Structure 1
Amino acid sequence: MRGLRRDGESKPAPRTTGRAADERAADDRADDEWRADDEWRAAGPATADASPPKRFPKTVTLTVTTATGGVALAALIGFGLFVIGCSTSATGTRDEGAASVATAEPVSPPTSEPSALPAQDIDPVALLRRDPKVSGQVKADLKPCARDAYPVDTSYGNLTGGTAPDVVINVMTCDDAVGLGTYVYRESDRRYENVFVAEEPAVYATIDRGELVVTRQVYAKGDPVSYPSGEDVVTYTWADTRFAERYRVRNNYSGAVGNGPVDAPAPSTTSDNDD
């Protein structure tokens, strides 16, 4: 009877109408088929080619009857999708590879190159006067042009790679600022040592990107002091214990510049009345 349970215990049958009645009937048919199958296996087949009765899986139907049940079903479906999305590898979790480790760039140690600015400016006149490598003629011409203003240019820079800036001194004439001598001093044992000397008319030295650049004016016979024929520009670099010439450039000046106006033929003029 429809009101009896499978274990024989009596229980009033609930009222079923419509879709619920159909589901209840399907469950009863599935129970009967499973019971018939179990009895056939217990008795044994009559013939070798006997086959068990057809067996259908029990139909499970989920029916959402309340708002709470709908929320629970939606949560169950969402959890299933989450598990499928995460199970992309054999271990059940996403394999993102080895974690990257950020490494800091090594910091370069501070360089030991000397600064271009000395701790204290030197007295170039006193340094020249006590230097035995400076000629007596230059020392005699080393006089102030006005009061205590001496015709001396001083430059500081790194030329020899020492622990202190090197010093370049140019001595000139007071009247026309023509170079008389160029000298380079390098600090050694807290004293300045003369490592370069150039004493000749119209010579001047500068520091250019760690190299010594010496310019010498070239005079031809009859050239005035203020108008040389050209110049030699020589670049020196420090090599162990002395300066070595690196390259030389010769510049020749035009003789038509600086010696007054150039004579040129006067332009011809014509009259409007000429035939």
Structure 2
Amino acid sequence: MRGLTDAGPDRGPAGAQAVITAATVVAAVALFAAACGTGGTGARDEGPAHSDSVERAPAAKAPSPNPSQTYEKVDAVALVKADPAVSATVKRDLKPCAGTEYPVDVTYGDLTGGQLDDVVVNVLTCGDAVGVGAYVYRREDGSYKNVFKAEESPVYAEIDKGDLSVTKQVYEKGDPVSSPSGENVITYRWTSGRFVQEDFHHTDYGNAAGGDATEDPTAAG
């Protein structure tokens, strides 16, 4: 009690200030306790913060793939018809099957290591899609040059893991067009400025036995 008595009139202004400060602290504690009693989230009990009040950075966009720098679409029909290496028979028979649709298959890919993709063109028949000519064109000095041709029908050329694969159906006497006796698959690789045979494989459909190699398709150098 002595302490309270000593804090009497002699300390009037300071004592009053201490009392006010203590009352303020008590009130603040009471308010804090009341807020905790409503759910323990304080001011957030009024509701979640508005999402539009937070500025979000725009999502990063994935870069768009660049178009191929080595691909150039060609008019395969015009290319074949203007090619002096293509036989007159193939050119004469190369006509639309229906409307403006020509019987040609065109494949683009790297076979010769040029700046632009090489073009593999297969000319087929309209009725049964038998290959009558297979050609490879390489871009050189601003134009396409014939670097391979095979016209021993039926024949078909395609790109296989960077090599040129040529398939030729083998018919025995009396075989219908739909049922060849076997096939020869010849693989070529671009070497020293020309296609060189790398592999030869024969399949006999009748007894699965190997056969003799047939004459290779002609490679234009």
Query: Can you list the C-alpha shifts for 1:71-114, whole angstroms capped at 9, x where unaligned?
Result: xxxxxxxxxxxxxxxxxxxxxxxxxxxxxxxxxxxxxxxxxxxx
Query: Can you list the C-alpha shifts for 1:12-60, whole angstroms capped at 9, x where unaligned?
Result: xxxxxxxxxxxxxxxxxxxxxxxxxxxxxxxxxxxxxxxxxxxxxxxxx
2:171 aligned with 1:219, yes or no?
Answer: yes
Query: Can you list the C-alpha shifts for 1:99-142, whole angstroms capped at 9, x where unaligned?
Result: xxxxxxxxxxxxxxxx9775431000000011000000000110
Q: SS at 1:148's partner residue?
A: coil
Where do 5+ consecutive residues of structure 1 fail to align? 1-114, 256-275
2:95 aligned with 1:143, yes or no?
Answer: yes
What are the within-5 Å matches in structure 2 for residues 122-161 of structure 1? 122-161=74-113
Task: Assess if the C-alpha contact under 8 Å between 1:182 and 1:205 holds in 2.
Answer: yes
Q: Which amino acid aligns with 2:174?
A: G
2:150 aligned with 1:190, yes or no?
Answer: no
1:254 is aligned to 206
Q: Which amino acid aligns with 1:153?
A: D
Q: Sequence identity, in percent?
A: 56
2:91 aligned with 1:173, yes or no?
Answer: no
2:158 is aligned to 206
Where do 5+ consecutive residues of structure 2 fail to align? 1-66, 208-221
Extract structure 1 runs of 4+ deviating beyond 4 A. 115-119
Higher alpha-carbon Rg: 1
2:182 aligned with 1:230, yes or no?
Answer: yes
2:58 is aligned to none
2:114 is aligned to 162
Bigger strand fraction: 2
Q: Which amino acid aligns with 1:123?
A: D
Task: Assess if the C-alpha contact under 8 Å between 1:117 and 1:157 holds in 2.
Answer: no
Task: Assess if the C-alpha contact under 8 Å between 1:172 and 1:181 holds in 2.
Answer: yes
- Which structure would you say has the larger RCO, counting Cα contacts within 8 Å and 6 or more residues apart? 2
51, 73, 90: which is aligned to 1:121?
73
